[in-house]
């Protein structure tokens, strides 16, 4: 019983940390948006944060991971060109490391994982916009 309570409390703490980091991620996304707007002008009209608990790369839960001895979330963004939307998203540790490794080997090259992530984000964005119309 005691063990269960302790375990539950740890989970809550992790959850709270994750939620704090998510607000930080949203603030960071706003910053990325103003930079993208400066760089791409009217090609970027809006931004949207994919605030899901599920990684768009592999459908596993998003979690914090250790990077240079600190807890970190991997905030990424891509421009959905057809709609001019900068979409910010978080990845799980595994996908974040895969992307990081691929970027080191072949900078600026699209990987199959990127394609999966972008397809899932576009679907989620379209679903989100459709739910606003309803
Ligand atoms: Zn993942």
Q: Which residues of 51-124 form beta strands (DSSP E)?
A: 65-67, 70-72, 74-80, 85-91
- Band (pLDDT 50/70/90 cuts) for residue 19 is low
Tell me the whole-structure pTM to 2 decimals.
0.77
Number of other CB atoms surrounding residue 101 within 10 Å: 11
Side by side, the strands of the sheet bearing 74-80 are: 46-50, 85-91, 74-80
**C-alpha 2 – ligand 1 centre gap (Å):** 33
Cα 83 to Cα 18, 54, 79, 126: the distances in Å are 29, 23, 9, 10
pLDDT at 16: 55
Calculate how far, in angstroms, residue 1's C-alpha sits from the geometric centre of ligand 1: 33
Domains of the chain: total:
1
Residue 116 alpha carbon to ligand 1 centre in Å: 10
Average pLDDT, the chain: 82
Centroid of ligand 1 to alpha carbon of 27 (angstroms): 22
pLDDT at 125 over 80: yes
- Which structural domain range is residue 126 located in? 2-133
- Output the pLDDT for position 2: 40
Q: How far is the CA of 61 from the centre of ligand 1 (A)?
A: 7
């Amino acid at each position: 019983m005691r063990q269960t309570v302790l375990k539950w409390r740890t989970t809550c703490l992790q959850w709270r940390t994750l939620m704090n980091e998510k607000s930080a991620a949203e603030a960071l996304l706003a910053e990325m948006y103003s930079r993208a707007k400066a760089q791409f002008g009217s090609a970027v009209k809006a931004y949207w944060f994919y605030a899901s608990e599920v990684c768009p790369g592999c459908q596993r839960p998003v979690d914090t991971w250790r990077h240079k001895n600190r807890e970190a979330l991997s905030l990424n963004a891509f421009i959905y060109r057809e709609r001019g939307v900068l979409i910010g998203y978080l990845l799980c540790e595994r996908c974040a490391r895969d992307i990081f490794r691929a970027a080191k080997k072949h900078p600026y090259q699209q990987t199959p994982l990127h394609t999966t992530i972008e397809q899932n984000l576009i679907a989620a964005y379209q679903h989100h916009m459709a739910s606003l119309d309803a």
